[in-house]
Amino acid sequence: MAFTEKAGRVNDRAQAELRLHRALGRSVRFQRPPDAHYDRGGGAALVNGLLGSATRFTDPEWLGWNGCDAELLIDLGASMPVSSLSFRYFHAPDSWVWHPASVCLSVSEDGEHFRQVHAGEVLAKPSPVVQGYETVFEKVQARYLQLKVMNKGRIPAGRPGAGNPAWLFLDEVVVE
C-alpha cells in the first residue's frame, strides 16, 4: 500500500495486488498497436500482473483498439507447459466500448509454426462493466502464444454511436 501524507494526515491511498502468472513481465508484440490515446502502458500493461480499474477504461492498465482486432504475440522466453489463458475486457456500450466478438489462441515452439488450441465466441453479460474471458485446454508445450481478440465491428443500430466502429479494451492477459 502506498499513500501520501501532509501535515500528519493521509491524503491519497493506492493499493495494487500483483497477479503472478507465466507471462508476467514477458515480451508482447502487436500486429496492430492499440490506439495512441489508449496505449499508455504499451504491451507491458497486458503482462505486468496489475489489473486495471473496474470503473474506467482510461487508466494505463487498459489498452484500447478502435474498430480493429487486438492481435498480439506473447514470448514466454522459453518453452513451458501451458493449459489456460484469461484476460479481462471492458463492456460499456453507452461509451461505444463493446465486448469482443470472438477469441482465437494459437501456440508455437519456434514463433513461426502455430497450432490453434482454442477458438470461441464471446457472449457478454449486461453487467458488470468489466468481464473476464478464460479458456482451459489440454496442456501443451509452448514458447509463443498468438492471441487474436476480434472486435465487435460496427456498433448496432439503436445504440449510442450506431454505425461507428466499436472500441475494444483489454486488460491483463494471464497464462497458466
- Please give the pLDDT value at position 3: 42
pLDDT, mean of each 10-residue run, the chain (176 residues) = 53 69 97 95 95 92 97 98 97 96 98 98 88 97 98 96 98 97
pLDDT of 8 reads 58
- Residue 143 in any domain: the answer is yes
In a domain? residue 2: no
Does 73 fall in a domain? yes
| 93 φ/ψ angles, rounded to the nearest 5 degrees | -55, -30
**Residue-level pLDDT at 4:** 46
pLDDT at 127: 81
- Structural domain count of the chain: 1
Exposed / middle / buried, residue 37 (Cβ in 10 Å: 0-12, 13-18, 19+)? exposed
Tell me 165's DSSP state.
B
Per-residue model confidence as pLDDT tens digits over 26-66: 999 999 999 999 999 999 999 999 999 999 999 999 999 99
Concatenated DSSP letters of 60-94: TT-EEEESS-EEEEEEEEEEEEEEEEEEEEE-BGG
What is the CATH number for 84?
Answer: 2.60.120.260
Max CA distance (Å), the chain: 60
Q: Which domain does 54 fall in, by range?
A: 18-175
Pairwise CA distance, residues 64 & 120, whole Å: 21
* Whole-structure pTM value: 0.89
Strand bridging mode 167-170 / 130-150 = unpaired
Quick one: pLDDT at residue 124?
80
Scored b (16 or more CB within 10 A) or e, 51-62 reads bbeeeebebbbb
